[in-house]
Amino acid sequence: MNVLAVNGGSSSLKFSVFRVDGGEPVFVNGDALDVERDADTALARVLARIEGPVDAVGHRLVFGGPHYDAPVRASDAVLRDLEQLVAIEPLHLPAELDLVYAAMRALPHAPNVLCFDTAFHRRAPAIAHRLPLPGDLDPMLQRYGFHGLSYEYIASKLPPDAGRTIVAHLGSGASLCAMRNGEPIDTTMGFTALGGLMMGTRPGDLDPGVVLRLLADGYDAVALNELFYHRSGLLGVSGTTGDMRTLMAAAQHDAAAREAVDLFVYQLVKMLGSMIAVLGGLDTLVFTGGIGEHAEAIRERALAQLAYTGAFTTAVIATDENLMIARHTLAQLG
C-alpha cells in the first residue's frame, strides 16, 4: 500500500509518500512545493512526482474544533461540518479543505483521512481549554492549541519516563507545549493560531484592548485579519521580513532587525517560564521546527536565561508531521 501524506501550509505544500507492508510506514519520497492558488493544479504537481498508485491520502488540517479529537475519514457530512470552522482559522483551513476536495476528485477510489493539529491537545486537562469569559457565550470559544501533529511525533520519540517536558515548536508559526510523560498539559496557542508566542507574521498574545483601540481607529474585521495574520510578528517589528535567518544576519547593523530578534527571545523565555510553572519544574526541553532546529544562537540565548531553573536535559529533534499523518491514515483504514 502507498499512502500519500499531504501537508498544506500557508506558504508551501509538503508531501510524502510512504510504503506500507504490514508495519511502520516507510518513507519513499517527498518534497515541498510553493503553494498554488488552485488546489487541483497543486495536487496534480504532487501526483506527477509519484511513481505507482496512491492507495490512501492523509491530510493535515490545522483546526478541528472541539468535536474532532482524533483523525477521521473524510465524508460529505464531515466536510460540511468543517466548512463551518473556516471563519475561525482562515489562514490555513480553506486551502487545506480545497486539497481534500482535489484529492477526492483526482483519486476517487482512495480513502481520505483528516488529521487535526488540534486533536493532540484535546487530551489536556479541561482547565487548560477554558477561557475566562461568560459561560453563556458560544461554546466554540475555548483554547484549542495547534502544531499537534508535530508535538505528537516528538512525544513518540520521548522515553516513557520523560517527566516534565516542554517542546518548543519554533518556525514561521511558533508555540510551546508542556507535557508530562508525553501527555499534553498545556500549550501557548489558544482559540486561534494567532496567540501565544510572537511569530513570523503573527503577533502572538495581545491585550484585547489593542483590538478595541484598532476598531476605534477604523479597522474592520477584514483589516484586522490582514494585520494579525500577515503584517505583525517579526515582520511587523523589523519592518522588512518575518524570516529569522535574514533578521539574525542583519541584526548587527539593523536596529529594527535586532529588536525583532530580541523580542522573539524575550517572549520565548517568558512563555517557557509559564510552562515550567504549569509543570512544576522542568526535566526536558526539546527544540523543533525551522528556528528551533537550526537557529543555535536563539537556543543558546534562551537556555542562558533559564539557567536559574537548575539542571534539565536539552534536545533538538527534527519533527515529522507527515509520518504522523501516515500512521493515522493507516489506523483509520484498519
Grid cell listed for 27: 518513507
Residue 35 carries which DSSP code?
P
Grid cell listed for 259: 529588536
- Max Cα separation, the chain? 60
Please identify which of the residues 98, 117, 186, 320 carries the catalytic annotation: 117
Give the containing element (helix H, strand E) for 61: strand 56-61
Active site annotation includes 205: no
Instruction: Report d(CA 327, CA 323) in Å as an integer.
Output: 6
List % helix, strand, coil for the chain (3-state, nearest 5): 40, 20, 40
Q: What Cα–Cα distance (Å) separates residue 238 from each residue in 38, 60, 177, 232?
A: 32, 31, 27, 9
Instruction: Report d(CA 300, CA 91) in Å as an integer.
Output: 31
Do residues 7 and 14 make contact, with C-beta atoms less than 8 angstroms apart?
A: yes
Pair type for strands 112-116 and 284-288: unpaired
- Residues noted as catalytic: 117
